[in-house]
Amino acid sequence: MSTKIFAHRGASKQAPENTMAAFTLAYQHGADGIETDVHLTRDHIPVLIHDEHVKRTTSSTGYIKDFTYRQLQKLDAGSWFSSEFAGLRIIPLDEFLEWIYDKPLYLNIELKNNKIDYNDLESIVYDRILHYDLLHRTILSTFNPRSLNKLNYLNRDINTALLTTKRGKNLVSAAQELGANAVHIKYRLLNQFLVDKCHHEAMGVRVYTVNRPRQMLRCFAVGCDAIFTDVPDRAIRFRNQFTN
Ligand code: G3P
Ligand code: MG
């Protein structure tokens, strides 16, 4: 099976990350799936943004957890990238799910709970996915092992993945013990032995963030299940060359 291409935060090289513009572009470019990051507002609304803090990607400052959803809606999440995208909003998870519902795309929702402990993040996100009947094409990933336990407790059939930046002999067994179905690894951790070991254990292995052609080709060659890339159009071009 060929390596799937997930647009990392959408087509985030050409449009501001985690906005509808970046998601739409990824879909137009033919990505197989979209990766996005979720946090909770003060009033417990799941919203799509990478950082805990709004400073880097909006017109304001402060932690997501301290804003109400209404307050967040007033921020400009596009201008930092380019004036062409001025006025884009931070979107709620629901808007994304509503948009993706009728498109043939996989979803990887990364629960951003490794720095801030959003107590109910797992159950809130799970509930929204069920509401849109998207469980069969959703992967929930996290750097937080406790979060994987919580997801398992909610439903053992959720497709989950342990994110890691660290090399470790026991990565595969640790992920298995946490009930994860896959590991999502940083590119520098990639090697053929790890891919084979994962597949031998019926675990998926997906790699981030893969933007260079040489890295893409290596991921395809060793048989990664998916890559996360800021440039899905480039990845699709190289995958076509690789498979033909
Ligand atoms: O989910 C893959 C990747 O997005 C994890 O790291 O920091 O880009 O969210 P980060
Ligand atoms: Mg992410």
CATH code assigned at 34: 3.20.20.190
Is 146 part of a structural domain of the chain?
yes
Question: Is 8 tagged catalytic?
Answer: yes
Is 161 part of a structural domain of the chain?
yes
Task: Report the number of distinct structural domains present in the chain.
Answer: 1
Is 69 part of a structural domain of the chain?
no
Residue ranges lining ligand 1, Cβ < 6 Å: 8, 35, 37, 50, 110, 141, 163, 184, 208, 228
pLDDT digits (tens, 9 = 90+) for 175-209: 999 999 999 999 999 999 999 999 999 999 999 99
Is 72 part of a structural domain of the chain?
no
Bridge partner residues of 160 (DSSP): 140
Atom of ligand 1 nearest to the CA of 35: 1
Give the domain range for residue 154. Answer: 4-49+92-243
Amino acid at 197: K
Calpha distance 130→132 (Å, rounded): 5
Q: By three-state DSSP, how is residue 182 classified?
A: strand
pLDDT digits (tens, 9 = 90+) for 60-89: 999 999 999 999 999 999 999 999 999 999
**Average pLDDT of each block of 10 consecutive residues along the chain (244 residues)?**
96 98 98 98 98 97 98 98 98 98 98 94 98 98 97 96 93 96 98 97 98 98 98 97 88
- What is the pLDDT, as a whole number, of residue 33? 98
In this structure, the residue with its CA closest to atom 4 of ligand 1 is 8
Cα separation values, 143 from 13, 43, 63, 80, Å: 24, 24, 19, 27
Calpha distance 135→123 (Å, rounded): 13
Is 234 part of a structural domain of the chain?
yes
Is 35 part of a structural domain of the chain?
yes
